[in-house]
Amino acid sequence: MDERFEERKRMVERLKEEFGISERVARAMLKVPRHLFVPPNYSREAYADYPLPIGYGQTISAPHMVAIMCELLDLLPGHRVLEVGGGSGYHSAVVAELVGKSGKVITIERIPELAERARKTLKSLGYDNVEVIIGDGSEGYVKEAPYDRIYVTAASPKIPEPLIEQLKCGGKMVIPVGDTIQTLYVVEKDEKGRLKKKRWGSVRFVPLVGKYGFSSLF
């Protein structure tokens, strides 16, 4: 237990009350010290439920968004997961807790400085089931494909084709699609490779910038 544990516990209790977050996701979030993933000048706000700046015009998502995406992904021990938009590394740490030591998280971040910082934080906390890659995640990461689960933490103009290809049959993807305000989609790929898309609701993410994303920040 660290010195911010009680604050974190209160944050998790609020998420359970307000968003009906499951015990499993709540337990995972209770384990991850969010205050170590935010820049020191925002540390005091680390357990408030809103996004915070992490530098380079990017943000760490609000805790409720991390929790909701984890619920929608239905993560199980042993899953191989691709995260597009690694940012601070916080969301990948929560997912790493849910897939356990037998699972693996590959997270891709396009801004090298953020990727380096995330790598250091994750390593210092012992998350050796998370690998941080610098690159354009709109192209996926074919070297470790296929994935049981894929999630994108930046807004895409459409679902990138390489991500569909790199998702296992029977797998699930969660992705925000749209420009200034987006729709969060849950995409399921059945055993025959057919896609079923469900809308979860409206969300707001920073843009996915890359070959299959937007050409620049909006």
Contact between residue 205 and residue 153 where contact means Cβ atoms under 8 Å apart: yes
The one segment of 21-29, 71-79, 132-140, 173-181 that binds ligand SAM by CB under 6 A: 132-140
Contact between residue 81 and residue 147 where contact means Cβ atoms under 8 Å apart: yes
Contacts with ligand SAM in 133-152 (CB under 6 A)?
Answer: 136-138
Catalytic option among 61, 88, 138, 156: 61
Contact between residue 142 and residue 76 where contact means Cβ atoms under 8 Å apart: no
Contacts with ligand SAM in 83-122 (CB under 6 A)?
Answer: 84-85, 87-88, 90-91, 108-111, 114
Contacts with ligand SAM in 47-66 (CB under 6 A)?
Answer: 58-61
Q: Is 34 in the site for ligand SAM (CB under 6 A)?
A: no
SS3 state of residue 199: strand
Q: Which is nearer to ligand SAM, 85 or 171 (CB)?
A: 85
Q: Is 155 in the site for ligand SAM (CB under 6 A)?
A: no
Contact between residue 197 and residue 187 where contact means Cβ atoms under 8 Å apart: yes
- Residue 185's contacts (CB-CB under 8 Å, 6 or more residues apart) are 159, 173, 174, 175, 176, 177, 197, 198, 199, 200
Applying CB under 6 A, which of residues 127, 141, 185, 205 lies at the interface with ligand SAM?
205
Question: Minimum distance from CB of 20 to ligand SAM (Å)?
Answer: 22
Residues that bind ligand SAM (CB under 6 A): 58-61, 84-85, 87-88, 90-91, 108-111, 114, 136-138, 153-154, 205-206, 208-210, 213
Active site positions, annotated: 61
